[in-house]
Amino acid sequence: MKNAPKPPMPTSVMVVGGAGFLGSHTVDRLLSEGIRVSVVDDLSSGSLPNLSEARGNSVQGSLGIDTLDATVGEFTELVRRRSPDVVVLCAAFLGPGDDVRAAGRSYSLVLSVLEACRATRVGKVVVVIPGDLLYGEVPSRELPVKEDRPLRPVGSLGVTATATLELLDLYRRDHGLDFTALAVSTIYGPRQSSTGGIVAEFLTAFRDGVPPVVRGDGRRTLDVLYVADAVDAIFRALTRGGGLLLHVASGEQTGLRSILQTIGIETVVPEKVTGRTVARMALSPARARLHLGWVPWTGLAEGIALTVTAND
């Protein structure tokens, strides 16, 4: 049996959370590919300066920016007016994993986006979810985690991420709304706020000449991924990976000490761990390689150097 033809590249994409860290890099990539982009962002965590490069490089009519909370009723009419082929949701999961209010807002945002896409007949949604909150603590011998592992969500936000996967299946089955869910690892890179992640916290401390805070004994491992690699997966998911959960990650464990050494930090301030923290994490990108044709290519040292250079 012949393979089904790949859907044509969309001409118009809406990025919800497009003024944020990951969202703004996604906007840059889409514009560079000649795709018309609509940004929707309430600027609660994103900022318009993140879009300065996009605004400077876009041709007339290729970039629209709407400052709007996507959970309000007007969002559906905005989607109808902008008429995107695909909606990319980058801003659904922000805040600590145990933040109940953030979890509630995330669920409302996901549901609002899906309902708007259903009502306006958008063809597909690409949703970015936090992969480290899906599986809980995993023995080292069973890392990197594959997508068929039973879900064991961490914190309120992890529960919401798991519920999002169920919602995506529901809307695909009952309403014909295609999706690709990208479970991302710990992303870092230019434009990330100083509190946006561990790598950003360490780089900010190094720049300011102060010892960073390290929670626990420093033996925690992360799966870290440079932002351009993550954006490449989002771009490929516009036309591939329909109906699938895919890991967008390096597949490797990187210790906090390795990150500190790569940055050049020798002195830290230890802090006792509070709340639930996953001690070891790595997500297998094998399925993304198969279905998206995607592999990460930026090593930690190169990614750190690119981030420092861009932020100077």
Which H/E stretch holds residue 222?
Answer: strand 221-222
Mean pLDDT throughout 3-14?
82
CATH T-level assignment (fold) for domain 12-311: Rossmann fold (3.40.50)
Q: What band does 185 get if pLDDT is binned at 50, 70 and 90? A: very high
CA dihedral 138, 143, 148, 152 (to 10 degrees): 20
* Cα(199)–Cα(197) distance, integer angstroms: 6
Identify whether the C-beta of residue 64 lies closer than 8 Å to the C-beta of residue 79: no
Residue 20 has pLDDT above 80, yes or no: yes
Conformational region of residue 121, where left means phi above 0, alpha means psi within -120 to 50, and beta covers everything else: left
Question: Tens digits of per-residue pLDDT, 188-242?
Answer: 999 999 888 999 999 999 999 999 988 877 788 999 999 999 999 999 999 999 9
Q: Which of 94-108, 174-188, 256-270 is modeled with the greatest confidence?
A: 174-188
Q: Which amino acid is at 298?
A: T
pTM, two decimals, is 0.95
CA 31-34-36 angle, 5° bins: 65
Q: What band does 311 get if pLDDT is binned at 50, 70 and 90? A: confident
Least confidently predicted of 97-101, 174-178, 203-207: 97-101
- Residues facing 171 on adjacent strands: none
**Phi, psi dihedrals of residue 30, rounded to the nearest 5°:** -60, -45
Neighbours of 59 (CB within 10 A): 9
DSSP code, position 3: P
C-alpha dist (Å) from residue 234 to 71, 145, 165, 183, 291: 22, 20, 17, 11, 12
The alpha carbon dihedral of 178, 88, 107, 247 has a sign of: positive
Q: What band does 312 get if pLDDT is binned at 50, 70 and 90? A: confident
| Cβ within 8 Å of residue 61, ≥6 positions away | 36
Q: What is the pLDDT of residue 1?
A: 41
* Cα(73)–Cα(311) distance, integer angstroms: 37
Mean pLDDT throughout 77-106?
88
Local structure of 298: helix, strand or coil:
coil
DSSP code, position 140: G
CA 106-108-111 angle, 5° bins: 110
Work out the widest C-alpha separation in the chain, in whole angstroms. 61
Parallel, antiparallel, or unpaired: how do β-strands 221-222 and 254-255 relate?
A: antiparallel
Q: What is the pLDDT of residue 276?
A: 63
SS3 content of the chain, % helix, strand, coil (to 5): 40, 20, 40
